[in-house]
């Protein structure tokens, strides 16, 4: 019988037990090293990236873990796409911008110091990437040239939140309204459009938007006010031209009430025939 002494504990094993007994004894010795039970982590347990904080995701991504990168993109895809779309005004190019921005950001993840949120950092990279693509291809419109003389007011559009589709007609109408709003937003100059997307669509605070764009909070407020005024003008023109078509009662609804009334008339012998 051999004995190994560690601290106040004695671990013994029999030579007759062979290699298996030796390995078991050594494993036990490791577990009680210096009188403390060591927690042995399961090697098959995988990290739950969706439950991680932003800082934890960054740490895991710096280790090159695929799941961490995927979780970051899952959280940031929509806001970054909206920002890229606000600059490029093109869905396909906005997707390319987001993809390239991720590649640049992840390659330089070691430079992320955490002075701002990860989304704010990624937003800056996305803005720079999108503007870089447009540079030299499109002339920037001066803000003074797009001022719209109009009464004070603001446009409040409920972009956020979810709804339940009551029926196909309501969903179709909602889709049309969304298309009108998106087209109007596309017509805004880029400085106004970016601020509007960040504040009214993404829900950024004034300070968050200012940090993302590298401008003063007062500038954010001014541009948002002007963006809302211009959108109000554009949408009023659209709605004024279509107000006479409001509350349509056509198609299936019209035919349905006709059939119901005719059926009741026939039942009461008020009308006859097919």
Strands (E), the chain: 2-6, 9-13
Q: How confident is the model at residue 162 (pLDDT cuts 50, 70, 90)?
A: very low
Return the structure tokens found at 54: 């932003």
What percent of the chain is predicted at pLDDT more than 90?
29
Check residue 252 and give its pLDDT.
76
Check residue 259 and give its pLDDT.
77
pLDDT tens, position by position, 107-153: 999 889 888 899 999 999 999 999 888 875 654 444 444 344 334 34
- Give the residue, 220 or 184, on which the prediction is more confident: 220
Mean pLDDT on 97-112: 91
**CB–CB of 51/67 below 8 Å?**
no
pLDDT tens, position by position, 36-87: 444 444 445 678 888 899 999 999 999 898 898 999 999 999 999 999 998 8
Which residue, among 111, 133, 131, 132, has the nearest Cα to 121 in the 3D structure? 111
Q: Which residues of 79-107 are buried (b: 16+ CB within 10 A; e: fewer)?
A: bbbbbbbbbbbeeebbeebbebbbeebbe
- Give the residue, 31 or 213, on which the prediction is more confident: 213
Which residue, among 177, 248, 251, 192, has the nearest Cα to 223 in the 3D structure? 192
Which stretch of 35-39, 95-99, 263-267 has the lowest confidence by average pLDDT?
Answer: 35-39
- DSSP-derived secondary structure for 62-93: HTT-HHHHHHHHHHHHHHHHHHHHHHH--HHH
109 by Cβ neighbours in 10 Å (0-12 / 13-18 / 19+) ranks as middle
Check residue 237 and give its pLDDT.
78
Check residue 137 and give its pLDDT.
63
pLDDT tens, position by position, 166-198: 566 667 667 777 788 888 888 899 899 999 999
Residue identified by tokens 């590649």 is: 103
Q: Rounded to the nearest 10 degrees, what angle do helices 118-134 and 54-62 cross at?
A: 70
């Amino acid at each position: 019988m051999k004995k190994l002494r560690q601290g106040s504990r004695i671990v013994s094993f029999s030579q007759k037990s062979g290699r298996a007994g030796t390995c078991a004894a050594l494993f036990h010795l490791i577990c009680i090293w210096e009188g403390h039970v060591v927690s042995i982590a399961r090697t098959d347990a995988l990290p739950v990236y969706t439950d991680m904080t932003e800082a934890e995701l960054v740490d895991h991504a710096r280790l090159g873990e695929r799941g961490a990168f995927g979780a970051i993109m899952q959280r940031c895809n929509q806001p970054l796409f909206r920002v890229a779309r606000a600059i490029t005004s093109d869905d396909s190019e906005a997707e390319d911008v987001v993809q390239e921005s991720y590649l640049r950001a992840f390659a330089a993840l070691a430079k992320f110091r955490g002075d701002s949120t990860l989304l704010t950092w990624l937003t800056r990279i996305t803005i720079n990437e999108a503007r870089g693509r447009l540079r030299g291809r499109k002339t920037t419109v001066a803000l003074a040239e797009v001022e719209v003389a109009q009464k004070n007011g603001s446009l409040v559009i409920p972009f956020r939140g979810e709804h339940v589709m009551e029926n196909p007609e309501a969903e179709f109408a909602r889709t049309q309204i969304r298309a009108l709003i998106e087209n109007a937003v596309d017509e805004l100059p880029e400085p106004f459009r970016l601020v509007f997307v960040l504040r009214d669509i993404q829900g950024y605070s004034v300070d968050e938007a200012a940090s993302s764009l590298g401008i003063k909070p007062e500038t954010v407020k001014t541009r948002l006010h002007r963006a809302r005024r211009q959108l109000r003008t554009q949408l009023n023109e659209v709605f004024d031209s279509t107000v006479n078509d409001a509350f349509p009662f056509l198609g299936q609804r019209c035919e349905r009430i006709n059939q119901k009334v005719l059926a009741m008339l026939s039942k009461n012998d008020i009308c006859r025939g097919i």
